[in-house]
Chain A
Amino acid sequence: MLNVALPKGRLGNKVYNMLEAIGYECKEIMEDSRKLIFINENTGVKYFLVKPSDVAIYVEYGAADIGFVGKDILLEQSSDVYELLDLGLGKCKMAVASINDFRDDPKRPLRVATKFPNIARGYYDTKNREIEIIKLSGSIEIAPVLGLSDVIVDIVETGKTLIENGLSVVEDIVPISARMIANKSSYKFKEKEIEKIVTELKKGEYK
């Protein structure tokens, strides 16, 4: 039995469709219910739906053998897992943004509002820039507008939210997309099953 952690929501649905197409179906999952665990004995797969930011934790601790998760979460949590495939789904980027006429004042620490404190710290460490992190959970875009921070570090998909709030990208940090991950120990004992999925999903990429 292969345990698969899927993120609830759009990405999870897309990934499920891809897995269904390569033979790991479990119709029940698409029904509108509150169930979180779905098993298909015939195909030997057990899906569970978890919060996207928790997928890597389920996999790292072996509750799931494999999982599907955004690179942003992997970077933020520095999860100790195998990252086997870039699915090319949910493409966006992690970027620094600020109000349109922003100029950095190097005489004082830069105030950075973000949901991703570890990514932000790591990025500014490489630039040797002293920063002060302001951890927020949402509506990051208004932080520089209200003067709460100088810049934000956040995911930018189309840039529409930024534009509508009078912000623009200052620097790109790293491209983001959905990845397939595997628990390191599970991989040792279920290598064939896991690699089969990787190979099949890869084929799908070029269809």
Chain B
Amino acid sequence: MIEDLSELVGRHPLFAGLPADVSVLVAGCAHNAAFGPNELVLAEGGHAEEFYLLRRGRVTLEVHAPGRGPLAIDTLGPGSVLGLSWLFPPYRWSFDARSLEPVGAISVDATCLRDKAEADPAFGFALMKRLGAVLLERLEATRIRLLDVYGDARPT
């Protein structure tokens, strides 16, 4: 059975629990996307014109370092939002994103969604609250990782 795209949007954690018309609004800017293993999904420095609601598979965020190759800095899986740089000028990706395995996602046109958010402040605020929670969660996780908690065992 082919599922309606708005239903898929409504089941993704970013939009789950919001009114059905929000899912329809977002689905109007979206289409299904798939990637094979080891595909470059986002390229550092590239224009952030679409982002992804991950449904299946994992994607790693990477930074290239001279002489060290790609360094993985985070892994996103089903239920995650891939790509946040589309929210703020200059709309440019900060990192590479590469699929670790077959990935299924909903691709969302960033300009289309921003325009809808500008036109409908209630929708825009709801969207920003959900994305703000994602940003906060990632900021907190990064701060905890900076603590290097696994390295501070008590001497005995």
Do they bind each other? Answer: no
